[in-house]
Structure 1
Amino acid sequence: MSKSQVAKRYAEALFQLAQEKNALVEVSNDLKELVKVIESTPELISLLVNPKFSIERKKQIVAEVFSKANPFVVNTLNLLIEKKRVNEAANLAEEFSELAAAAQGFAVAKVFSTRALTDDELNEISSAFAKRVGKEQLNITNEIDPSILGGVRVQIGNYIFDNTVASKLQGLKRTLVG
């Protein structure tokens, strides 16, 4: 999970504003879309940090790309551009997601597996691990990682529950080799 203090401060401010204006779900969804855009087109962040473009031009680009996004998200992006912190946008979205989940009794979790898990499997994991971290439910993102060979690794905040074949083999190797 993100450890950026800058992203955390911006996320907290945006979270408070979204909560006051009853726009938590909308802002959260827009931030998820923002992360998808950043991941699918890393050139966007490169463009927004490029000193050759003026701040006004960068704001125009954001306004065009995110024309249907909540104004709070667009204004936050504009602020990040002004403060030359736009590279923190993905971290801000991650921090916001954690704050929103906690406010709704959820925890954000990443589940690493060798294949895409079914909804039933994800619900089962959510039920089992939510209690361990004192939450009602988990908001799970399933990530495919063939290197784990089998099993699952669940990451909830700073907690990691690793029940993968790769980690068991690593433990066996340490035991045998010393």
Structure 2
Amino acid sequence: MLPAKRYAEALIKLGQEEGNLEKFYDHLFKLFEIIKSNNEFNNIWFDLEMKRSEKKQKIKAFFDDDIDSYILNLLYLLIDKRREIILPYIPLYYKQMYDKILGNVDVEVIVAHEIGSDVLNKISKWLWKRYGVKNPRFIVKIDRNIIGGIKLLFNNIEVDASIKGALDSMRKELVKIAIL
């Protein structure tokens, strides 16, 4: 969806210039939630037979000044260009770029048992030293199958320091040796 990416890039640049990166992020994801759950908005937004001027009026009335003017102008531009269909993708591309600028990374932490914030702080420091991850956002999942240790998944990287991972690795080595 390249057009959506270009719109997101333009918003990022504008957000940086205006000092509104976070504000745009918040408004785009508020809009994203509306797209996912509000039939009234979707009936207006995806009605391709409605006149552009009428659609703009209805969109403005829908938000009732509860949306940033730049985001509203983006909506108007999408209506004018008849690119309504790409709107759901713009927040996703914006998030990718926003996270890259701020160094935010979603890190899935898989453990066998609950862990405390002290462990997450150590993981955070290790991620910074090893991979340059500034702001990890941890998603902790409990998986008793890993037996013990920890497994990290982020940015298409897997760090497996689990007992199950070690046992699987040993098993592969033994099979390889047995075949030779």
Specify if TM > 0.5. yes
> What secondary structure is seen at the aligned counterpart in 2 of 1:52?
coil
Establish whether residue 55 from structure 1 lines up as the match of residue 52 from structure 2: yes
Q: Take 1:46 and 1:11, find their aligned partners in 2: how far apart are those partners?
A: 24
Question: Hey, what's the Cα distance between the residues in 2 that align with 1:131 and 1:36?
Answer: 36
The amino acid that maps onto 1:27 is F
Measure the CA separation in 2 of the matches of 1:38 and 1:73: 14
The one-letter code matched in structure 2 to 1:24 is L
Residue 51 of structure 1: CA displacement?
2.1
Can you give the 5+ residue segments of structure 1 that lack an aligned partner in the other structure? none
Cα pair distance change 1:127/1:90, threshold 3 Å: farther
Q: Deviations over 1:15-38 (max 9, x none)?
A: 111111111111111011111111
Say which of 106, 110, 113 aligns to 1:109. Answer: 106
TM superposition shift of 1:71: 0.7
Aligned counterpart, 2:177:
none
5+ unaligned residues in a row in structure 2: which ranges? 173-180
Deviations 1:106-137 (A, max 9, x none): 23537599xxx999498777666666653201
Aligned-residue offset at 1:70: 1.0
Q: Distance in 1 between matches of 2:56 and 2:144?
A: 45
- The amino acid across from 1:79 in the alignment is L
The range that moved more, 95-104 or 127-136, is 127-136
**2:67 alignment partner, SS class:** coil
In structure 1, how many angstroms separate the alpha carbons of the residues matched to 2:18 and 2:33? 25
User: TM-score scaled to structure 2, two decimals?
Assistant: 0.64
- 2:74 is matched with which residue? 76
Structure 1 residues 128 and 40, CA gap change in structure 2 (3 angstroms) = farther
Distance 1:53 1:23, change over 3 A: same
1:91 matched to which residue of 2? 89
**Match for 1:68: what amino acid?**
D
Partners of 2:159 and 2:37 lie apart in 1 by 29
Shift of 1:92: 0.7
Tell me the matched-pair count: 158
The 2-side partners of 1:65 and 1:119 are apart by 44
DSSP 3-state at the match of 2:50: coil
Aligned-partner Cα distance in 2 for 1:125–1:42? 42
Q: Give RMSD over aligned pairs.
A: 3.8
